[in-house]
Amino acid sequence: MTGMSGSESPDERLRVVVVGAGAMGGEWLRMLARSAHAEPVGVVDLDVDLATRTVSSIGLADAVVGSSLADVVKRSGARAVINVTVPQAHRVVNEEAMRSGLPVLCEKPLAPTVSEALRQVALADLTGGLLMASQSRRYFRHLAAFRDAAAQLGALGAVHAQFFHEDHEPGFREQMAHPLLVDMSVHHFDMLRYLTVDEPVSVRCDSWNPPWSWFAGDAAATATFDLASGARFVYSGSRCTPGLQTSWNADWHVYGEAGAAHWDGDHLVQADAAGVAVEVGESSEGIEGALEEFVGALATGNTPQNEVRTNVMTLAMVEGAIRSSERGGDRVVLADLLEESLAQAIADERSGDVVEVLRSWPSAAEAIATPPWGTSPQSVPHASGGAR
Ligand SMILES: NC(=O)c1ccc[n+]([C@@H]2O[C@H](COP(=O)([O-])OP(=O)(O)OC[C@H]3O[C@@H](n4cnc5c(N)ncnc54)[C@H](O)[C@@H]3O)[C@@H](O)[C@H]2O)c1
């Protein structure tokens, strides 16, 4: 197991390199500059001028800047990598870091496809290092309160989430084939997995691009997931809706045996069920919450939420929805998608040692079921105050 090996004492901030100094890289660096848990000692971007401007605008005078991860790690003495590059670059950057023995916290989506994610699982098997996806929208105090309320409703019949937003972010998003599902719904699908103890089994989806959309790909979709318990997750979303916008976190309802609950995605949580009180606790939110879980996992050996193996099912929800939409709304079974993705991963992978690991798996489902990283059982608590 690769942990926080080396000279760090618990009181020291983890020395990290941020790869990708674009809009979100800047957000990470601003947060890290004031973090008690990690220290940004290096910044890597293909565009070194951009990285230099970002670093100086935040006042990180001592951070090492460059275009080569290996070089910046060497010069800065970094002990971990935070990958905030565009989604297509995530795998390559994660692989370089893992091969160098560095743990990685990677922005969502961990990979554009499940097969690319499985190749990273295999490399994590091989190196024993920690690769965690930063699904930062799991880390909201009001979502935790909503989850606690939902847990008191008995068996759930349905979970509904609606996301309607007017979103102008020129760059890779406006060029993607599925800017809603791949770049945004990945958050909401992951939040569903946090919210319930259920797992998605299959999906039917329809995606389209409204005529006025400024996105090249499908900016709108509806999707219905069958969950293992028999409940349904009913999702609808759009990124080009200039009116009655929801929170970035979407607007959520759960309907259960003993009542219902609602979260507006921001600060309103309501329960309509006898004896269910809503209590909002204290915890770090957004990327700060993800960072704290990552640093904590390195210090304790605990397996974090969205360790690469766990995150694969979130990505399968996204890819399953896309596949269904491309097949006219046909039902896509996620277990089938997983095994087809393993065959694709074996076909695409060029590193012999990773191919060997992929071929050794009895199935993709089994490979992602048992996280070898860390010493503790999978940590996805269903009670307030757990690691979020
Ligand atoms: N968690 C959230 O709420 C949230 C919000 C916004 C973006 N994001 C995620 O953050 C990531 C980055 O988004 P963004 O909006 O900052 O994109 P961006 O295009 O503004 O920045 C990406 C940067 O990565 C650099 N880059 C690309 N390939 C690289 C490589 N191989 N090595 C080094 N640098 C490379 C680019 O030069 C660019 O500067 C995406 O995965 C996105 O989905 C997450």
Give the CATH number, domain containing residue 297. Answer: 3.40.50.720
Distance (Å, rounded) from C-alpha 25 to C-alpha 291?
14
CA dist., res. 311 & res. 90, Å (int): 14
- Are 105 and 153 part of one and the same domain? no
Starting at the edge strand that comes first in sequence, how are the strands of the sheet with 104-107 ordered?
A: 64-66, 38-44, 14-19, 80-83, 104-107, 131-134
Regarding the beta carbon of 21 and ligand 1, being less than 6 Å apart is answered yes
CA of 91 to the centre of ligand 1 (A): 13
How many domains does one find in the chain?
A: 2
Residue whose CA is at the smallest distance from ligand 1 atom 9: 107
- Judgement on whether residues 148 and 264 belong to the same structural domain of the protein: yes
Residue 365 Cα, ligand 1 centroid: separation in angstroms? 29
Establish whether residue 70 lines the binding site of ligand 1, counting it when its CB lies within 6 angstroms of any ligand atom.
Answer: no
Q: What pLDDT is attached to residue 383?
A: 29
pLDDT reported for residue 5 = 41
23 shares its domain with 108: yes
Verify that 173 and 253 share a domain, yes or no: yes
Final residue of a structural domain among 222, 244, 272: 272
**Residue 298 and residue 128 in contact, taking contact as beta carbons nearer than 8 Å:** no
| Residue 84, domain extent | 14-137+287-308+333-369
* CA 205 to ligand 1 center in whole angstroms: 27
Q: Does 166 lie in the same domain as 106? A: no
| One domain, residues 73 and 158 | no
In a domain, 7, yes or no: no
| 150 and 132 in a common domain | no
Do 200 and 264 fall within a single domain?
A: yes
Q: Are residues 231 and 298 in the same domain?
A: no
CA of 221 to the centre of ligand 1 (A): 24
User: Is the Cβ atom of 20 under 6 angstroms away from ligand 1?
Assistant: yes
Q: Quick one: pLDDT at residue 388?
A: 27
Give yes or no: residues 112 and 207 share one domain. no
Q: What is the pLDDT of residue 378?
A: 40
Across the chain, which has 388 residues, the per-10-residue mean pLDDT values are: 44 93 97 98 98 97 97 98 97 98 98 97 96 98 98 97 95 93 97 95 98 97 98 98 97 98 98 96 97 97 94 98 98 98 98 98 94 52 31
Nearest-angstrom CA–CA distance, 169 and 250: 18
pLDDT for the residue 170 = 87
> Do 293 and 229 fall within a single domain?
no
Is residue 281 one of the residues assigned to a domain? no
Is residue 326 a part of any domain in this protein?
A: no
Query: Do 122 and 230 fall within a single domain?
Result: no
The alpha carbon of 262 and the centre of ligand 1 are apart by a number of angstroms equal to 32
With respect to residue 215, please indicate whether it lies within any of the assigned structural domains.
yes
> Which atom of ligand 1 lies nearest, measured to the CA of 172?
19
